[in-house]
């Protein structure tokens, strides 16, 4: 298997991740430089002659699912797939108790007990090599997404991977090339694309209510300090990324929906970006306020600037402002904004403004637009989605739509090219920040096919 450059030591154990805080500052700086150097060679990456996966339909099937990662996120996804009668035949986690709990959920749904794989970091390789699995769902720490997705595709399975799909430009290409060569899809589980407001606004954009699109704003501003300093769940690994990298460490939740509004990879594409980080203050301040003296966490040095802001330019000249801050006091915000010649939508809270009907300079509510523009996905399944509740229902809509596409032999809504493009701001922001906000180019992962492609990125449920 091709070496995966995650910027982390290849021998590290998922369970031991948190002890990496003790690595010296010099080592971290070197790793960071390596990442930057790798990213700057993005355009010289090898070209393959494999055919595109754009608009390639799944062979119609009711997929047999293997799930890697049964922590908080994996368990939530499992619940959503089970709610759509997804068949779950195998589960993998490095913590046996978590896998067993997930197994009990499958049994409660009326299916037989799925096989468990819990024997260490590489147990997932046994899961993906089974012959009775069609679809591998991956909900593990970020740096494991690429090796697991690649292994799944190479074993003949379609893959779905949590966000972000990849952490380096080389690994973005790795996903693209592996998908093309194996003829297996690798989709990213960007649930926010299926949110109520996001699908509503996508319909309004496609009805041309905003005129010529010009700018968007996206972000992930979420106070995760308590979670990052907990001794469970993401607290076991997420904080460590803040000791290694300085940039946007979670670009896709805000960016995916805005990319869909703009038709990125469907007539437009990300061309280049610039990025700027504030100093890193929030995690250290939180530690001083909440962590007892003598705790090993005091050996960590946080280098990721608290608020990272990037500007992305598209081939059509549009711009996207992209933010990331998980280290400070701030209300949750993904921005989720789109503006054009005729009007603008902004979220958190949702509000809208159009030429004409509104009073001058007065935002109005989005409710009057819901009857006409609500997504058919939410019209059909909104009640059950809200009842299940995963992130307000978007998780159920996402999983239901994925199974619908596979069962009906459709192409996935979003594909490996979207996963690569939306993940690329992770390494490109590191590169730009390290180079004093110099512009960083996006590779064209589609090989020029974004120009001819059109149509909506989000389909329906019937």
Q: How far is the CB of 335 from a second copy (least distance, A)?
A: 11
Considering only 66, 339, 390, 425, the residue that binds a second copy (CB under 8 A) is 339
Contact of 298 with 291, CB cutoff 8 Å: yes
Residue of 256, 188, 197 whose CA lies nearest to 375: 197
**Interface stretch with a second copy, choices 49-57, 129-137, 257-265, 274-282 (CB under 8 A):** 274-282
Mapping DSSP onto H, E and C, the string for 440-456 reads EECCCCCCCCCCCCCCC
Contact of 221 with 330, CB cutoff 8 Å: yes
Considering only 96, 382, 439, 459, the residue that binds a second copy (CB under 8 A) is 439
Contact of 81 with 107, CB cutoff 8 Å: no
Q: Total residues at the site for a second copy (CB under 8 A)?
A: 47
User: DSSP of 123-178, one letter per residue?
Assistant: HHHHHHT-TT-SEEEE-S-GGGHHHHHHHHHHTT-EEEEPSSS-SSHHHHHHHHHH
Q: How far is the CB of 462 from a second copy (least distance, A)?
A: 35
Q: How far is the CB of 186 from a second copy (least distance, A)?
A: 31
Q: 72 or 376, CB closer to a second copy?
A: 72
If you search the block for the tokens 């041309």, which residue do you land on? 208
How far is it, in rounded angstroms, from Cα 237 to Cα 298?
15
How far is it, in rounded angstroms, from Cα 405 to Cα 146?
23
Query: Which of the 8 DSSP states describes residue 19?
Result: G
**Interface stretch with a second copy, choices 14-22, 153-161, 249-257, 335-343 (CB under 8 A):** 335-343
**Interface stretch with a second copy, choices 75-83, 89-97, 184-192, 339-347 (CB under 8 A):** 339-347
Q: How far is the CB of 308 from a second copy (least distance, A)?
A: 9
Q: How far is the CB of 394 from a second copy (least distance, A)?
A: 17
Q: Which two tokens stand for residue 120?
A: 């260490």
Q: Is 350 in the site for a second copy (CB under 8 A)?
A: no
How far is it, in rounded angstroms, from Cα 278 to Cα 368?
39
Considering only 64, 158, 184, 318, the residue that binds a second copy (CB under 8 A) is 318
Residue 2, classed as helix, strand or coil, is coil
Letters for 200-239 (x = contact with a second copy by CB under 8 A, - = none) are: -----------xx-xx-------x----------------
Considering only 69, 114, 305, 457, the residue that binds a second copy (CB under 8 A) is 305
174-201: b or e for each residue (b if 16 or more CB lie within 10 Å)? Answer: bbbbbbbebebbbbbbbbbbbbbbbbbb
Q: 57 or 279, CB closer to a second copy?
A: 279
**Binders in 379-438 for a second copy, by CB under 8 A:** 436-438
Contact of 452 with 265, CB cutoff 8 Å: no
Q: 211 or 235, CB closer to a second copy?
A: 211
If you search the block for the tokens 């007539």, which residue do you land on? 267
Considering only 36, 249, 259, 344, the residue that binds a second copy (CB under 8 A) is 344
Q: Is 313 in the site for a second copy (CB under 8 A)?
A: yes
Q: 227 or 411, CB closer to a second copy?
A: 227
**Binders in 118-177 for a second copy, by CB under 8 A:** none
Q: 211 or 459, CB closer to a second copy?
A: 211
Contact residues toward a second copy (CB under 8 A) are: 211-212, 214-215, 223, 272, 274, 276-279, 281-282, 285, 305-307, 309, 311, 313, 316-319, 321, 328-332, 339-344, 353-355, 360-363, 436-439
């Amino acid at each position: 298997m091709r070496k995966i450059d995650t910027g982390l030591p290849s021998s590290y154990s998922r369970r031991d991740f948190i002890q990496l805080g003790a690595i010296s500052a010099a080592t971290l700086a070197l790793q960071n430089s390596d990442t930057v150097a790798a990213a700057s060679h993005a355009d010289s990456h090898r070209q393959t002659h494999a055919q595109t996966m754009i608009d390639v339909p799944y062979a119609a099937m009711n997929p047999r699912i293997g799930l890697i990662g049964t922590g908080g996120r994996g368990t939530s996804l499992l619940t959503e797939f089970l709610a759509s009668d997804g068949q779950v035949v195998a589960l993998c986690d490095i913590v046996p108790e978590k896998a067993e709990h997930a197994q009990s959920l499958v049994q409660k749904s009326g299916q037989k007990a799925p096989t468990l794989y819990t024997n260490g970091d590489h147990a997932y390789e046994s899961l993906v090599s089974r012959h009775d699995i069609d679809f591998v769902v991956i909900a593990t720490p970020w740096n494991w997404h690429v090796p697991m997705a690649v292994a799944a595709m190479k074993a003949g399975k379609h893959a779905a991977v949590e966000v972000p799909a990849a952490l380096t430009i080389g690994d973005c290409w790795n996903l693209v090339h592996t998908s093309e060569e194996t003829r297996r899809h690798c989709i990213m589980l960007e649930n926010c694309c299926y949110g109520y407001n996001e699908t509503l606004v996508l319909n309004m954009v496609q009805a041309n209510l905003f005129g010529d699109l010009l700018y968007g704003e996206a972000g992930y501003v979420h106070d995760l300090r308590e979670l990052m300093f907990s001794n469970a769940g993401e607290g076991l690994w997420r904080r460590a990324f803040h000791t290694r990298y300085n940039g946007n460490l979670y670009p896709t939740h805000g960016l995916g929906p805005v990319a869909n509004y703009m038709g990125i990879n469907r007539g437009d594409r990300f061309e280049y970006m610039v990025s700027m980080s504030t100093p890193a203050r929030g995690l250290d301040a939180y530690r001083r306020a909440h962590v007892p003296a003598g705790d090993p966490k005091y050996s960590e040095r946080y280098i990721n600037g608290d608020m990272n802001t990037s500007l992305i330019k598209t081939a059509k000249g549009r711009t996207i402002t992209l933010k990331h801050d998980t280290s400070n006091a701030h209300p949750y915000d993904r921005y989720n904004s789109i503006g054009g010649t005729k009007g603008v939508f902004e979220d958190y809270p949702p509000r809208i403004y159009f030429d004409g009907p509104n009073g001058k300079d007065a935002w109005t509510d989005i409710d009057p637009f819901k009857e006409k523009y609500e997504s058919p996905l939410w019209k059909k399944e909104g009640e059950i989605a809200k009842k299940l509740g995963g992130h307000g229902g978007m998780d159920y809509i996402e999983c239901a739509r994925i199974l619908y596409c596979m069962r009906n032999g459709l192409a996935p809504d979003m594909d490996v090219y979207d996963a690569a493009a939306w993940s690329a701001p992770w390494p490109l922001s590191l590169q730009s920040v390290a180079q004093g906000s110099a512009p960083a180019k996006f590779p064209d992962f589609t090989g020029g096919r974004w120009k001819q492609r059109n149509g909506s990125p989000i389909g329906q449920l019937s």
